[in-house]
Amino acid sequence: MSESNNDFVVTPWEVKGKVDYDKLIIQFGTQKINEELKQRIKSIINDELHVMLRRNVFFSHRDLDLVLNDYQSGKGFFLYTGRGPSLGMHIGHLIPFIFTKWLQEKFKVNVYIEITDDEKFLRNQEYTLEQTRQWSYENILDIIAVGFDPDRTFIFQDTEYIRNMYPIVIKIAKKLNFSEVKATFGLELSSNIGTIFFPALQIAPTMFEKRRCLIPAAIDQDPYWRLQRDIAESLGYYKAAQIHSKFLPPLTGPEGKMSSSDPNSAIYLTDDKKTVAWKIMKYAFSGGQPTVELHRKYGGNPDVDVAFQWLYFYFEPDDKRIKEIEEEYRSGKLLTGELKQILIDKLNEFLEVHRQKREEAKELVHVFKYDGKLAQQMWEKIHE
């Protein structure tokens, strides 16, 4: 991806500018999730599509059609996603988990969630392994709170599960040379040898079953999976399929993606009601006019308004209601402050439920990591 013929950049380590998702599909060589595919999913699950599919938050894929074929033929498939543990998770981080959980519910399939406590430590000079493992625990609580099926979900930390993965990890590592991972992962000659090896650990879970693996993730992660697709079949496994999401815009505006390093660009899952209200009111980039008079006259622009975009992504799942909000904002009937208040209420409602579930999750960590039906099977298995 070069910047020369675009005003945006999307790589696994940087998202800059206003992303043109149609162009990205062409650049990355992925497939658009078109109406036909959506209708097919709808008819298979015999239910409404998830709001993120209806509204094209998940908008692109590789081999999703083949995944559906395998599902319908009885071969089945499995889901894989993961997280590089961080001090706090923000609402953008939940998107792949919320969507993965929905897919699990509808297709009744296994979900594997890799917590890369090793990579987070290796990639950041200032972090200790003790920190990234503590964050792993905290993040796992947030992930469990999303509501995965405890018998069909295995959450594992690399530093704990490595022995079970190591044979397949080194088989993968043997297929990848430094030049290849350098280009894909943005590594240098001065990169430490742990970060150079790590791609093999990220690819390994795509080979946990001899079925097709579907990975829900933001589209910037796609290059990682291209490496997997280059080598999977030579190891006797399937090329991993992906379903790609857009980036939830940061509070600060419609460009780039939410960043953990700028706390004012994001709402954290631990932000209390007051903080949420204050951050949205103060920082949320507005598509409104500078004065109430001008706003009433010319109306707001929901396409760049972050409060509206967040409601649209998933905080207002009611399609009728979101249409009303959009029209009222565009017409000038709904003021920026009012729109922000709608989001604040929705967010605080969401976060209150999340915090409750997060508390309950403390009792479930052992189930998802060690004792659940799938977890138990996984600890007995050495992946070759």
Q: Which is nearer to a second copy, 59 or 161 (CB)?
A: 161
Q: Which is nearer to a second copy, 63 or 158 (CB)?
A: 158
Question: How far apart are alpha carbons 237 and 206 in whole angstroms?
Answer: 8
Q: Which is nearer to a second copy, 164 or 245 (CB)?
A: 164
Beta bridge partners of 81: 113
Q: Which is nearer to a second copy, 180 or 345 (CB)?
A: 180
Question: How far apart are alpha carbons 183 and 7 in whole angstroms?
Answer: 21
Is 198 exposed, middle or buried, given 0-12, 13-18 or 19+ CB atoms closer than 10 A?
buried
Provide, rounded to whole angstroms, the least separation between the CB of residue 161 and a second copy.
8
Provide, rounded to whole angstroms, the least separation between the CB of residue 124 and a second copy.
9
Question: Which residue's structure tokens are 């930390």?
Answer: 157
How many Cβ atoms sit within 10 Å of the Cβ of residue 37?
Answer: 16
Provide, rounded to whole angstroms, the least separation between the CB of residue 203 and a second copy.
11
Q: Which is nearer to a second copy, 35 or 189 (CB)?
A: 189
Q: Which is nearer to a second copy, 13 or 291 (CB)?
A: 13
Sheet holding 31-32, edge to edge: 31-32, 58-62, 241-245, 212-218, 77-83, 111-115, 153-157
Provide the binding-site residues for a second copy, judged by CB under 8 A: 118, 121-122, 129, 158-163, 166-167, 170-171, 173-179, 181-182, 187-194, 196-197, 199-200, 384
Q: Which is nearer to a second copy, 187 or 304 (CB)?
A: 187
In this structure, are residues 244 and 59 in contact, taking their beta carbons and an 8 Å threshold? yes
Provide, rounded to whole angstroms, the least separation between the CB of residue 207 and a second copy.
14
How many Cβ atoms sit within 10 Å of the Cβ of residue 350?
Answer: 17
Q: What is the DSSP string of 149-163?
A: -TTSEEEEEHHHHHH
In sequence order, which residues have a C-beta less than 8 Å from that of residue 264 and are 6 or more positions away? 251, 252, 279, 282, 283
CA neighbours closer than 13 Å in the CB half-sphere of residue 221: 26
Provide, rounded to whole angstroms, the least separation between the CB of residue 168 and a second copy.
9
Question: How far apart are alpha carbons 58 and 17 in whole angstroms?
Answer: 19
Provide, rounded to whole angstroms, the least separation between the CB of residue 239 and a second copy.
20
Q: Which is nearer to a second copy, 170 or 353 (CB)?
A: 170
Provide, rounded to whole angstroms, the least separation between the CB of residue 380 and a second copy.
14
CA neighbours closer than 13 Å in the CB half-sphere of residue 96: 25
Provide, rounded to whole angstroms, the least separation between the CB of residue 260 and a second copy.
21
Question: How far apart are alpha carbons 325 and 332 in whole angstroms?
Answer: 11
